[in-house]
Amino acid sequence: MARGTEYSFLPKLSSKREVFGLGACLCLIAILLRLGVALHPYSGAGTPPMFGDFEAQRHWMEITYHLSPSEWYFNTSNNNLSYWGLDYPPLTAYHSWICGAIAHSINPDWVSLHHSHGLEDYYHKLFMRYTVLVADILIYFPAIFVFVFGVYRSLSLEDKLSTAFIILVTPSLLVIDHGHFQYNSISLGLAVWAVLASCTRHNLLSCIFFSLSLNYKQMELYHSLPFFFFLLGKALQQREARYLTIIKYGLCVIATFLICWLPFLSSISSIQQVLHRLFPFSRGLYEDKVANFWCSLSVLIKLKLLLSRGVLLQLCFWTTILSIVPSAINLLFYPTPYRFLHSLVNSALSFFLFSFQVHEKSILLAVIPVSLLAVVHPFVSTWFILVATFSMYPLLVKDGLVLPTWSLSLFFFLSSYLFLPRLSYKMHNQDRRINLLFYVSMGLFFALCISSHFVTPPARLPDLFPVLISGFSCLHFLGFLVWFNYMQFMPQQIGHTYQKYFRLVHNKPHEN
């Protein structure tokens, strides 16, 4: 290995106390960044009558605390579904109920039925912000640290801490959860726990964690095919009891779903109503100016005007499946952790680019597996994460989150350059044309984003800059999809030195 490839900005650690102390300091920095973002506006702040995602989360706490589960997903006199009706799976509802109960114990006015709509009390906002932070600390932080220390065992202690820190300060997740206001870190954290369990051969635990993640946010379907084909491929490689293993996986998933859905299994109509709320196909092909293929194509071809909703659904379904199939089949026949992590990226990107009813924030489902690969692909991972953040820029401008977006993006790039053991070496030694491409990419994003503030678009093109930003981002994502597929099929491209990060699981006895 060339000298410098394993350089770490952090000092050499010689004791567990030093590791713990430095890890605590890095966690504190990550927490302070989250608190800093939380000082800025949130989705729908001061914009009645519907407000935004902040009010949606508060409203779910209100209805889940006051109403029985049989009413949560139904339109009733106490639950007007047209006003932020619950449209996430049962685990989100249970989490809302817990937060609602805590809120009620502090101040009943925060979740008062019918009378708390649009509440923007200072202490209530503080409470809501802290609920996101607590979710991060309890679920997401441990998942990242245990993943890095459990999977990348060949790294030095300093590089493990550096990698975990870089993942924890990913700007796109911070500005959405702690700025815009959502709880993505819960579903994504559970998904990381599932990935860790799969990579370390605790496959039944993987089934449970991924089922929990899917029962918190249905968008985790973006990751479902890699989990399915990875576990199926591992089971089929067994010499004995392969079909029994598959049955055990299936029973584990079914049992987890049954427990999560227990209050809603009283009737077929109840199940149908929950599913109807989770998959509202009537909403349309995509949301706002999302950086996916269909939104970008609409500049040239208005598919929504040419095709019926049913035809669009089929078109999206088959395009998404065809995009994922190569990665999935490769994973089935070669179920290694390296290919699994790449397949998670490829699947999430395929869903984001080609599926039906895609939101700007759905790119987070690709960001997390990309960040988990930061050790292996530091340059491309850093580039991807920055593009993902800028792809949401029109949404973040609307929310008043311009300052934290730019600040976190710059902090993330500088931290990655200093902390990731291979990024600075890579940028100094790779083909200069690749570095030039990166700088041109970032320069154009900077120009588009800044121009959107100071340049007045033509009257007939009021959405010029959001469309340009989403289209430019889409081109990047299509290129990244090709690149990550290539890297999945050609693992030798990363070199023997870095393949060692994935060897640890091959020498362990199989565990179901």
User: What digits encode the pLDDT tens for the residues 386-412?
Assistant: 999 999 999 999 999 999 999 999 999
Residue 153 pLDDT: 87
CB-based burial label for 287 (10 Å; 0-12, 13-18, 19+): middle
- For residue 427, pLDDT over 70 is answered with no
Residue 319 pLDDT: 97
* Helix/strand/coil percentages in the chain, nearest 5: 70, 0, 25
Residue at 51 is within a domain: no
Residue at 115 is within a domain: no
DSSP per position, 255-292: HHHHHHHGGG-S-HHHHHHHHHHH--GGG-SB-TT-SS
Residue at 103 is within a domain: no
User: What digits encode the pLDDT tens for the residues 44-101?
Assistant: 999 999 999 999 999 999 999 999 999 999 999 999 999 999 999 999 999 999 999 9
Residue 505 pLDDT: 41
Residue at 60 is within a domain: no
Predicted confidence band at 504 (pLDDT cuts at 50, 70, 90)? very low
Residue 129 pLDDT: 98
The percentage of residues in the chain with a pLDDT greater than 90, rounded to a whole number, is: 81
The percentage of residues in the chain with a pLDDT greater than 70, rounded to a whole number, is: 92
Residue entry with tokens 């114990």: 105
Query: Amino acid identity, residue 158?
Result: E
Residue 91 pLDDT: 98
Residue 492 pLDDT: 64
Distance CA 144, CA 173 (A): 14
Residue at 16 is within a domain: no
Residue entry with tokens 């989250």: 34
| Closest residue by Cα to residue 157 from 23, 5, 338 | 23
Total number of residues shown for the chain: 512
Residue 417 pLDDT: 87
- For residue 510, pLDDT over 50 is answered with no
Residue at 508 is within a domain: no
Residue 493 pLDDT: 60
Q: Across residues 112-138, what is the average pLDDT?
A: 96
Tell me which residue range forms the domain holding 442. 22-45+120-500
Residue 150 pLDDT: 93
Q: What SS3 class is residue 495?
A: coil
User: What digits encode the pLDDT tens for the residues 237-279?
Assistant: 998 889 999 999 999 999 999 999 999 999 999 999 999 999 9
Residue 508 pLDDT: 44
Distance CA 303, CA 306 (A): 5
- Which residue has better confidence, 499 or 254? 254
Point out the least confidently predicted range of 196-200, 299-303, 448-452.
Answer: 299-303
Task: Give pTM, 2 decimals.
Answer: 0.93
User: What digits encode the pLDDT tens for the residues 320-379?
Assistant: 999 999 999 999 999 999 999 999 999 999 999 999 999 999 999 999 999 999 988 999
User: Residue 191: which residues within 8 A CB-CB, separation 6 or more?
Assistant: 209, 210, 213, 220, 223, 368
- Provide the CB-side half-sphere exposure for 12 (13 A, CA): 3
User: What digits encode the pLDDT tens for the residues 185-212?
Assistant: 999 999 999 999 999 999 999 999 999 9
- For residue 3, pLDDT over 90 is answered with no
CB-based burial label for 318 (10 Å; 0-12, 13-18, 19+): exposed
Residue at 111 is within a domain: no
- For residue 146, pLDDT over 90 is answered with yes
- The three state secondary structure string of 135-152 is HHHHHHHHHHHHHHHHHC
CA distances from 349 to 293, 299, 365, 472, 492 (A): 11, 21, 8, 15, 23
Residue 140 pLDDT: 98
Bridge partners for 79 per DSSP: 76
- Which residue has better confidence, 140 or 421? 140
User: What digits encode the pLDDT tens for the residues 8-27?
Assistant: 566 677 677 888 899 999 99
Residue 282 pLDDT: 79
Residue at 69 is within a domain: no
User: What digits encode the pLDDT tens for the residues 459-481?
Assistant: 999 999 999 999 999 999 999 99
What is the number of domains present in the chain? 1
